[in-house]
Amino acid sequence: MGSRSSFTAEITPNTLLNAYACGIFPMAESADDPALYWIEPDARGIIPLNMIRIPKRLARTIRQQKFEIRIDSDFEGVIEGCAAPMLGRDSTWINEPIMALYADLFDMGYCHTVETWLDGRLVGGLYGVHLKGAFFGESMFSTERDASKVALVYLAARLIYGKFSLLDTQFVTAHLRQFGAIEISRREFQGHLHKALEIQGNFRELPVDYPSVGILQVVSQTSNTGCSTP
């Protein structure tokens, strides 16, 4: 896991931003635990923005425009969805202090959501923190097949289009590996982070109504691999 230290003093949004700039992020043991811990993994997960893979079946789903994509329209709904128990997941690390802190960051313009909607219902999405040229992915959820995966592809396109250089996933899961997520050392991550903090990414550069085929083109033209097999 790497280093972990608890903190009991009141944390502010600015403290949290400073922690991200140092490669550190907070987590809780569970949604019911009021304490928070600083985490700095020995092996850090990232998705290189020039190595993203999109499964062919998912690419078809994106072309079919099954979901409506919204940006920053329902932060509360997204973080509550990420914190909710789901099949195979009884609890999460998102507790009340986490919700409050990231709501403050959202109000300040540092936290963003990518949301998937179906028939007027929020059915999936993700949220994360934007700092200079880095985006720190925090959590995602889905109540419909592929909803969170579509959100991730749209996030990647937005970051590429907005000239970001780092997509941090904190850890690597089987879910993320299919998109090209890799583990790098803490030292390597610090190098990537340092470079990302020297540039300014624009999360709003990509138009919200950008066509789905264009989204796939933005990702595949930047990637060395493009769409992969299912």
Q: Going residue by residue through the chain (230 aa), what tens digit of pLDDT does each one get?
A: 455 555 545 789 999 999 999 999 999 887 778 788 999 999 999 999 999 999 999 999 999 999 999 999 999 999 999 998 766 555 678 999 999 999 999 999 999 999 999 999 999 999 999 999 999 999 999 999 999 999 999 999 999 999 999 999 999 999 899 999 999 999 999 999 999 999 999 999 999 999 999 999 999 987 654 444 33
pTM of model > 0.95? no
CA distance 127 to 4: 23
Domain ranges of the chain: 43-91+110-228
- CATH classification for the domain delimited by 43-91+110-228, as one of 3.30.1600.10, 3.40.630.70, 3.40.140.10, 3.20.20.210: 3.40.630.70
pLDDT value of position 18: 97
- 43 forms beta bridges with 185
pLDDT value of position 33: 80
pLDDT value of position 92: 76
